[in-house]
Amino acid sequence: MIWTSILLAAPATAPAAAPAKGLIVDQTPITALPMEGLITVVSLAFLATLVASKVSIQLGIPAILGVLVLGVLINADYSLLSPQGVEALHVVSLAMLLFYAGLSTNFGKLRQLLSFGLCLAIGGVVVSSGVLGAAIWAVNHGLGQVWPATMQGLPFAVCLLIAASLGSTDAGATLSVLRGVGRLVPERVKYLVEFESSVNDPSAILFLFLVIGLTASHGASDPDGSVTFMLQIQNFIKSIGSGIMVGLILTYIAQFILRSVVTSRDQVLVVGLAVAMSSYGVATLLGGSGFISAYVTGCFLANNIYDNPYITQEVMASSLEPFNTLMELTVFLLFGVLFDPAYIQGNLVAGLLISGILMLLVRPLSVLIFQPLTPLNKRETALVCWCGLRGAVPLALAYSVVHALPHIKGLSEAQAAGMEPEVQGLIFVVVVSNLLVQGLSLPRFCRWLNPAASG
């Protein structure tokens, strides 16, 4: 499997560049390490993620934040992993995250919440990206002194890109924090948050790609950009429609395999992995969005019953759950490892400001704007407003933003190159501070609000 190879290859490269920080003291390049050494280092890193999760849960912050910080502490040289490697990693991890998000979407529990949830997820991404983009632009132009030198006077397109990458919320992070106060949270709020988080992943990705497409500079043959514009819109609509349909087609193929080919429960994990990746790959090859396709495949796979006596929905979920945990740990560890902490400092103030705007203004706004449709009461709505934890998807999309920068109209190559690490640093600061603040305060906020008591 592609994924496994990356899983093995990527962390393996990580510790090599940690000369300053500890795991390997002498400056041995990674290629010089014997196989046994690599295996030891990788496995130790994985064991350490478990310790980090435990510590973070004790501290009351989302487990993924601890793993992320661990990754940063290990710290590798970014250049050790080829750009293609990073690209492959982020694509694979996103596709798997979305497949699992689809699998955990339960339509049955969502009857009255479906339309509100869809508005919140799709409309919320658009509203929050737009408002946050404007806010970033305003902060950038109004408070130039808190930004690093290469980030002065950002074009609006770049602000919008950064905002769009921050559009999706993370169900896992929210629910892991809420676990401690589980009784206080009404079931429907849990389902809604879970559903919103899973649907806004593909919508944020699509929205980001749409923004990237629309802000990219046009070729010489098309000076006013109208042809490019039409093509972009067509591609956008096509990627949604084709993504959904290819996802459905792959669902049937997966069902056929589950029903007729699979002979024992042990094989379910293999099917899950292969189906998720092929759903992504086939859809992308056929001009659809692989992420939507992976999501749809997961969604319909989980919401159908199979004739195979070995396979039930529980088996499917329980086989894939450990894998998802592994996936999540790996992704966050790697995002941490690949991130260069040198870029935190310059973006710290700006990142914290944007994170504050995101939590206090943008998120509540993007929830309250759909208030006319809500079946929730005021306390529940208030809780949903504070449940906007950002997670893996923004970190992965940071790489997409970085890739897109050189193509943006009005940015010179040198400018774009200077911005790349800073944009990553900024997104990192926003995500971490958001996880930290909301993660720590959410249980207390929930106890204070006591939404279950209001019925």
Partner 1 sequence: MTLVDNLNSFIWGLLVDWILFLGIYLTLGLNFISLRLVPSAFVMWWQAVRHPPEGEGECGPFLNSMAALGGMIGMGNVTGVTAALMAGGPGVLVWIWIGSLVGFATKFAETFLATRYRSHNANGEVVGGPMYYLSQGLPRSLRWLGRVFALFGALAVLGVGNGLQSEQIASLLHSDLAVPPLATGVVMAALTWWVIQGGLRRIGLWSAWLIPLSCLLYLVLCLVLVLPNAERLPGVLGTILGEGFKLKAIAGGTLGLTISKGIRLGVLSNEAGLGTSPIILSAGRPGDPFYQGCISMLLSLADVVVCTATALVVLCCGLPLDGSNPETLLDQAFATGLGGASWLVIVAVVPFAFTTFTAFGYYGERCLEFLLGVRSQQPFRLIWIAVLALASVSRHADIWEVTEVLNSMMALPNIIGILLLSGLLVRQTREQFARIQATHSLNPSP
By CB under 8 A, name the binding residues for partner 1.
115, 230, 234, 237-238, 241-242, 244-246, 248-249, 252-253, 256, 286-287
Q: How far is the CB of 248 from partner 1 (least distance, A)?
A: 5
Query: Nearer to partner 1 by C-beta: 237 or 417?
Result: 237
Q: Which is nearer to partner 1, 214 or 245 (CB)?
A: 245
Minimum distance, C-beta of residue 237 to partner 1, in the bound complex (Å): 6
Q: How far is the CB of 224 from partner 1 (least distance, A)?
A: 14
For partner 1, the closer of residues 48 and 373 by Cβ is 373
Contact 389, 62 (CB under 8 A): yes
For 257-312, where are the alpha helices, taking DSSP H only? 268-285, 290-302
Tokens linked to 331: 């992704």
Q: Which two tokens stand for residue 212?
A: 């990237």
* 242 CB-near residues (< 8 Å, 6+ apart): 283, 286, 287, 288, 289
Nearer to partner 1, 123 or 418 (CB): 123
Query: Please, which residue, 244 or 404, has the CB nearer to partner 1?
Result: 244
Sign of the CA dihedral 286, 291, 294, 296?
negative
Smallest gap from residue 127 Cβ to partner 1 (A) = 20
Q: How far is the CB of 105 from partner 1 (least distance, A)?
A: 16
| Cβ atoms of 12 and 42 closer than 8 Å | yes
Minimum distance from residue 313 beta carbon to partner 1 (Å):
17
Q: Which amino acid is at 148?
A: P
CA-nearest of 268, 256, 390 to 321 is 268
Q: Please, which residues have CB within 8 angstroms of residue 27's CB and are 6 or more apart in sequence?
A: 19
Give residue for tokens 């949270």: 185
Q: Please report how close the Cβ of residue 191 comes to partner 1 at its closest, in angstroms.
A: 19
Beta bridge partner(s), residue 35: none
Whose CA is closest to 294, among 305, 313, 281, 303?
A: 281
- In the complex, the smallest distance separating the C-beta of residue 42 from partner 1, rounded to whole angstroms, is 39
Write down the least CB distance from residue 246 to partner 1, Å. 6
Q: How far is the CB of 316 from partner 1 (least distance, A)?
A: 19
Q: How far is CA 361 from the centre of its chain?
A: 21
Which positions ≥6 away from 371 have C-beta within 8 Å?
A: 381
Contact 365, 336 (CB under 8 A): no
Residues 6+ positions from 97 with CB-CB distance below 8 Å:
201, 327, 328, 331, 392, 393, 396
Nearer to partner 1 among residue 242 and residue 438 (C-beta) = 242
CB of 39 or CB of 285, closer to partner 1: 285
The secondary structure of 179-242 as a DSSP string is GGGGGGS-HHHHHHHHHHHHHHHHHHHHHHHHHHHHHBPPPTT-TT-HHHHHHHHHHHHHHHHH
Closer CB to partner 1, residue 39 or residue 233? 233
Number of helices (H), then strands (E), in the chain: 18, 0
Which CB, 15 or 247, lies closer to partner 1? Answer: 247
Residue 54 or 252: which CB sits closer to partner 1? 252
